[in-house]
Amino acid sequence: MKAWILITMLLMGCGSAESKSYVDSAIMPYYKVYIKEKQERLGKEAKYIPVAFKSLKSPTIGVCYNYSSGKRQIYLDPSFWFSGTDSDRESLLFHELGHCDLNLGHENPSSIMEPNILSSFFYNEHRDYLLNELFGLVSLVDLYTTTATKTNTNSIELICGGIKEINDEIDN
């Protein structure tokens, strides 16, 4: 019991186990684009995953929480979000939805599921292909053999905290 209380306090202390039930209104337009892109490619609805802002420990700017109850939750760092470009926001949100909605882990360099943010230039140039790859319709190898662009220039390292397993929801 003592250990349990300590763990609970630690979780509350760093705020990692708070859960929210909504998609933040600033994020919703991008979330709707994801729903549309998934529907067009897979003919499937996206799961409803709450997405909220929370200041994350640098350099992490996004994380997907996977609660033992089965609930999932995405947190995005507000300072990155509000200073980033449209494509920075979209690729970050789509990356976290790749974890929380599509159950993907971290993947090859220059895919949406690589743990670094893709440069806006690279993302915009290959957006359709990168989304097809995210949804499992094509392989990245094809992108490299059909275009001259093989490298993605990142300015930010390690953006994503990956999927964090959370034992219980403390606050719901």
| Residues that bind Zn ion in the complex, under the rule CB under 5 A | 160, 162
Q: How far is the CB of 133 from Zn ion (least distance, A)?
A: 15
Q: How far is the CB of 166 from Zn ion (least distance, A)?
A: 16
- Ranked by CB distance to Zn ion, the top (closest) residue is 160
Nearer to Zn ion by Cβ, of 106 and 170: the residue is 106
- For residue 77, CA distances in Å to 19, 55, 117, 118, 160 come to 15, 5, 13, 16, 10
Q: How far is the CB of 63 from Zn ion (least distance, A)?
A: 8
Nearer to Zn ion by Cβ, of 37 and 114: the residue is 114
Label the pairing between strands 72-76 and 51-53: parallel
Q: How far is the CB of 13 from Zn ion (least distance, A)?
A: 24
Taking the CA of residue 16 as centre, how many other CA atoms within 13 Å lie in the half-sphere pointing to its CB?
20
Q: How far is the CB of 120 from Zn ion (least distance, A)?
A: 18
Nearer to Zn ion by Cβ, of 93 and 143: the residue is 93
Nearer to Zn ion by Cβ, of 8 and 60: the residue is 60
Nearer to Zn ion by Cβ, of 78 and 162: the residue is 162
